[in-house]
Amino acid sequence: MGGMMANAMDCMEKEVQVCCQDGTFRTSTCVPLWYCHVAIGKRDFGPVPPCGAAPKSGDASKCQQSDGQIRKSMEMAKSMCFDKIKELYDLQGKLGQCVADVSSEKQKLQSTRQGLTNTQHRAEDCEKREAQAKAQKSLGLGGASGSTFCPARSAELSGASSQFALAMDKCIGVEFAAAVRIPTIDIEVPEIKVGAIGTGSFQLQTPDFGAPGFQGDIVVPGGGGKLNVAPHSAAGPGGAKGPAPGKRLSLIQRVANIKADIKECEDAKPKVMAKKDELAATKDTVLKQKQKACEELGPQRLRLLQPATAQTAIQFFSVMKMAWNCPDVEEAIDGITALLEFC
């Protein structure tokens, strides 16, 4: 066993020697193989060591393989490694398309939800304007001369009416949202770090490890950072950071990570359909809410109000106090009622 291990170390040193003796072979085979092995967890993250810089792992002269055999075995290893890389990118393509599909549907849901929210806000605005107009008419306000029935308290009634309007704005917003809750679009999908999401599409290109000038400056699917960047240890007493061994990610780990993301994405698809149903069910209610606030309540209702007197105003605000169960509204109405007692 010891002899086999020693021979393996000797042949690893011979690989380095063969790579450094032939620049073309180093560029076309050694560098791509190095980074491919980083990608599948056979090497630590980090750049290819320059020739002559790496510590010797064995005695190249003792390797039982010829230079030709070393070249052939490295070429074969590169081909096998590239096939494994393709498996990763095929899985990433499946993941990316799933995320693109779900993200596209999610955007549609968000657009639908925003439309319903806008409709609800319009209903709120109608209700707020109606409440303010009724309050103004009940208090005999709106004209240049102030209150028609209580001119001595016009300024105070006008200020109290403004406080009532602010309280009603807040109260109506809360009440409307509570009466019809528009579903939130809380659908999450995995983050895509390799490839680009488009509108319902996913763009992914498998990198050419054998391209001239390739230096491993990429992130491959399944986790981890750039292949040619070695993580650094924490700063020592002098403040300097030194290189630390990168945590390897095996092919099995990468595949498992991508498959887990694919499952998470596939699990999101039924949630999309459920949210579609929720929004569809909410739409009719929101439209009825708007119709009631903006069409049924209008100028004709103002005409039905009794002529403004202190007594009719007190009656009106008493009804409003019972209709809107909000502390701020109650406080504002109490202030108005106290003023009306003097009218």
For 6, the domain range is 2-94
| Residue 39 CA: distances (Å) to CA of 131, 214, 224, 246 | 67, 14, 9, 12
The tokens for 306 are 């009794």
* Residue 69: predicted pLDDT: 96
* Residue 282: predicted pLDDT: 95
SS3 (DSSP) at 197:
strand
Q: Is 154 among the domain residues?
A: no
Are 160 and 327 within 8 A, CB to CB? no
Are 161 and 336 within 8 A, CB to CB? yes
How many domains would you assign to the chain? 1
Q: Is 205 among the domain residues?
A: no
Cβ neighbours of residue 331 closer than 8 Å, sequence gap 6 or more: 167
* Residue 178: predicted pLDDT: 86
Among 249, 265, 264, residue whose Cα is nearest residue 88: 249
Helix 67-138 to helix 310-323 angle (10° resolution) is 150
Q: Is 50 among the domain residues?
A: yes
Q: Is 69 among the domain residues?
A: yes
* 196-197/202-203 β-pairing: antiparallel
Q: Is 24 among the domain residues?
A: yes
Q: Is 8 among the domain residues?
A: yes
Q: Is 343 among the domain residues?
A: no
Give the angle 243-245-249 at the CA atoms, nearest 5°.
135
Are 323 and 168 within 8 A, CB to CB? no
DSSP result, 36-65: HHHHTTSS-SSPPPPTTTSPP-S-GGG-SS
* Residue 238: predicted pLDDT: 45
The amino acid at 257: N
Q: What is the C-alpha to C-alpha distance for residues 164 and 162, in angstroms, rounded to an integer? A: 5
- State the alpha helices, DSSP H only, in 151-238: 154-179
Cβ neighbours of residue 162 closer than 8 Å, sequence gap 6 or more: none
Q: Is 236 among the domain residues?
A: no
pLDDT in tens, 71-113: 999 999 999 999 999 999 999 999 999 999 999 999 999 999 9
Specify the pTM.
Answer: 0.77
DSSP 74: H
Q: What's the burial of 126, exposed, middle or buried (CB within 10 Å: 0-12/13-18/19+)?
A: buried
SS3 (DSSP) at 227:
coil
* Residue 3: predicted pLDDT: 52
Residues of the chain with pLDDT under 70: 1-6, 54-55, 142-147, 232-246, 296-307
